[in-house]
Structure 1
Amino acid sequence: MAIDLDCNACKTDDHVVLVEALTGTQRRLRCEQCSHEWLRGEPAAQKVALPTLDEIKKRFPKPGDVDSNRLARAGELKAEFLKREPEPESNVAPYWARYQQVFSAEGLRSADPQDFKDFANSNVGANPGNMSVFNDAWNEMGADAGAEQVRKVIDYLLRGTSPVDLEDRLTSLIYDTKAFGMRGFKEALLTKVLCVVYPDRYLTILKYTGQAGKREIARSIWGLELPDPERVNWTIGRLILWSNDLLLALLGDGFKHQQHAAAFLWWAKDKG
C-alpha cells in the first residue's frame, strides 16, 4: 500500500500512488491497479491582482464623459463670464511670490514662525475657511514647535519621495499616517500650499467635497458624478488632484489666472 486512501473505482487502497502535488493541499492520485486518477484536497486560493494606479485613474471621469448639452451650456456660461473684465486683486501676486520663497527648501528653514500662522489664516488668493483647529493646536504647542511641524509637513508635501506620488503624500498628511503631521493643517491648507507654489497648476478650490467643492462643481456645471470619498476605496489625495486636473481640462483657455477660473466655477455652479 503506497497511500492510505481508497480508490473509488476499484475500492482498494493497495495500489494508490501520488502522481502530482498541486497548489495548496490538492494532490493528484492514481490507482495503479485500475489506472483511475482523481484529485484530493483544496487548491490554493487565487490571489486577485490589484489594479495599477494608471488603471484606477482610467476609471475616473473624463471630459469626454460630459453630455453634449451640458458641455454646450457650460460653454455659454463661460462666454458670458469672460465678457467681464475682472478687477485685478493687486495683493495676490506679491503675496504668493513671497510665500513661494517661504516654502522653498531654503526659505522653510529660515522663515519666521509667524509667517506660517499668518498663511494659515489669510484669505489672499484662496480662502481656507475656519482655521480654529489649527490655531488651537498652534497655541497649545507654542510658536516654535508649531512652526517646526508645519515646516516638516510642507517640505514632505513638496519634496518628499516616499511615497513618490504627490497624491499619496497628500493622503498621508491628511490622515496623519506620518509622525510629523500638524493638527488642522489638512486638506484646505495643503491644497493652498500647492496653489501658491504651482499657481498655473492648481485651482484655488481648496476642498474636494463640500458646499462648493470640486465634486459639487463638476456635478452642477457639467453633470459629472465624481466618486464619493465615503463610498470608494480611492485615496483622498488622488480624488483631490485628479478632480483638479479634470476641472482644468473642462475649463479650457481664456482665464487670466487661477483665481479668475475659480471665480467662474463658483459663479457658474449656481446658474444651472
Structure 2
Amino acid sequence: MALIACPKCNSENIDGIPQPDSRLLIHCSDCGHEWLRGEARRDPGRPAVQTIDSLHAAFPTAADVRPDVRERVALLESEFLLNRPEPDPEVAEYRARYQELFSREGLPSAPPEALEEFANTATIAAPGHMSGFNRAWKTQGPERAAEQVRESIEFLLYGPDSLRLEDRFTQLVDGKKDLGFPAFKESLLTKVLCVVEPDRFLPILKYSAATDGKKEIAKLVFDLDLPPATKVSWTIGRLAVWSNDLLRSLVGNDIPDLQQAGQFLTWAKNQPAMSRT
C-alpha cells in the first residue's frame, strides 16, 4: 500500500477496503478521493462496489417516509407548537460566544478554560459522560490539552477543502492520523457544528445511542431504518452528517429554530406510535 499514491493529490496517506469482487476501494485520507484497484472477479451474484456517492444516494430520504407517518408527525408538530417553550436566551449568548472563539481568527487564542467549559456544559446539548475527556485533560495539562482541542476544531471546520466534512469528522473520531485531542470525539465534534452552523445541525449529538440517537429517533418518529454504524463503508462521519441532514429536512420549516426542532424530536419519539393498518 505504501507504493500507491493518490492520483489527485499524490498523497500516500491512503486506506484500502476489500470489495466483494476482489478489488480494493482505495480512499485517500488527505483529499477524500476514492478509486478502485485491481481486476474485478466476474460474479453477477455479488453486490456492486459502493463509493461515497453511491452510499449517499442509497441513504434514506424524506421521500421514504410513509404518508400516514407524515400525517402523524404533522399533528405532533401542531401539538408541540401550541406549547413550545420560549427560546432560552442563554443558548443564544453561549452560541455567539463560541462562534467567535471557533472562528478562524478567534480559535488560535481560545483560552483553555473556555474549551474545557464547552466540553462540560449542557448548554445547546449535553455531550454525555465527560470522564474520559476530563482525565485526558488533566493528564495532558490545560495548555497542551487546549492546543490539541484547537487542532481538532480547526481540522473539523477548516481542514482541506478537498476533504469532505464527513471524512474530516471520521478521521478525528477514528484517530488514525494522531490529530487533535484524543477524547474530543463524536458528541463534542457535533456540538461544535451545532454552534458554528445552527441552521443546519440539530442538537442531537450521537448517531446511535439507546433511544436518543439520530438513528433511533428516525425509527421512532418517522419509521425509517438507518444503516448500522458498524458497517465500515458508511463511516461515522457520513452517518452523523447525513442523518442530521435527513432529520433536518423531515422537521421542515414549521420549526425553523433547530434548538426547538431538537426538543420536538426528543418529545415526539416518546409519543405513542401509529400502528400500521
Length-normalised TM-score, structure 1:
0.80
- Considering only CA atoms, is the larger Rg found in Structure 1 or Structure 2? 1
For 1:94 and 1:117, the matched residues in 2 are separated by: 17
Q: Is the 8 A contact 1:200 1:257 kept in 2?
A: yes
Aligned length: 229
What's the counterpart of residue 179 of structure 2?
A: 180
What's the counterpart of residue 157 of structure 1?
A: 156
For 2:141 and 2:258, the matched residues in 1 are separated by: 34
CA-CA distance at 1:85 after TM superposition: 3.9
Task: Give the residue type in structure 2 aligned to 1:46.
Answer: A
CA-CA distance at 1:75 after TM superposition: 1.2
Task: Give the residue type in structure 1 aligned to 2:74.
Answer: G
CA-CA distance at 1:69 after TM superposition: 1.3
Q: Are 1:166 and 2:156 an aligned pair?
A: no
Q: Is the 8 A contact 2:204 2:262 kept in 1?
A: yes
In structure 2, do the counterparts of structure 1 residues 45 and 201 end up closer, same or farther at CA, with 3 Å as the change threshold? Answer: closer
What's the counterpart of residue 8 of structure 2?
A: none
CA-CA distance at 1:110 after TM superposition: 1.3
What's the counterpart of residue 118 of structure 1?
A: 117
Pick from 40, 50, 66: which aligns with 1:46? 40
Task: Give the residue type in structure 1 aligned to 2:118.
Answer: F
- Note the 1:17-56 alignment, pairs <5 A: 45-46=39-40, 50-56=49-55
What's the counterpart of residue 229 of structure 2?
A: 229
Comparing 46-55 with 232-241, greater Cα deviation is found at 46-55
In structure 2, do the counterparts of structure 1 residues 69 and 232 end up closer, same or farther at CA, with 3 Å as the change threshold? Answer: farther
Residues 215-257 of structure 1 show CA distances to partners (whole Å, capped at 9, x for unaligned) of 0000001100000111452111000000001001110112251
In structure 2, do the counterparts of structure 1 residues 73 and 232 end up closer, same or farther at CA, with 3 Å as the change threshold? Answer: farther
Comparing 202-211 with 178-187, greater Cα deviation is found at 178-187
Unaligned stretches of 5+ in structure 1? 1-43
What's the counterpart of residue 137 of structure 1?
A: 136
Q: Is the 8 A contact 1:133 1:183 kept in 2?
A: no
What's the counterpart of residue 25 of structure 1?
A: none
What's the counterpart of residue 19 of structure 2?
A: none
Task: Give the residue type in structure 2 aligned to 1:249.
Answer: S
Residues 41-99 of structure 1 show CA distances to partners (whole Å, capped at 9, x for unaligned) of xxx94268844422211100011111111111111111111112412211110111010
What's the counterpart of residue 270 of structure 1?
A: 270
Q: What percentage of residue pairs aligned between the two structures are identical? A: 48
What's the counterpart of residue 146 of structure 2?
A: 147
Q: Is the 8 A contact 1:163 1:169 kept in 2?
A: no
Length-normalised TM-score, structure 2:
0.79
For 1:232 and 1:174, the matched residues in 2 are separated by: 13
CA-CA distance at 1:184 after TM superposition: 1.9
Q: Is the 8 A contact 1:125 1:259 kept in 2?
A: yes
Unaligned stretches of 5+ in structure 2? 1-37, 43-47
Q: Is the 8 A contact 1:209 1:215 kept in 2?
A: yes
What's the counterpart of residue 106 of structure 2?
A: 107
What's the counterpart of residue 8 of structure 1?
A: none
Task: Give the residue type in structure 1 aligned to 2:251.
Answer: L
For 2:182 and 2:154, the matched residues in 1 are separated by: 16
In structure 2, the residue corresponding to 1:82 is in which secondary structure? Answer: helix
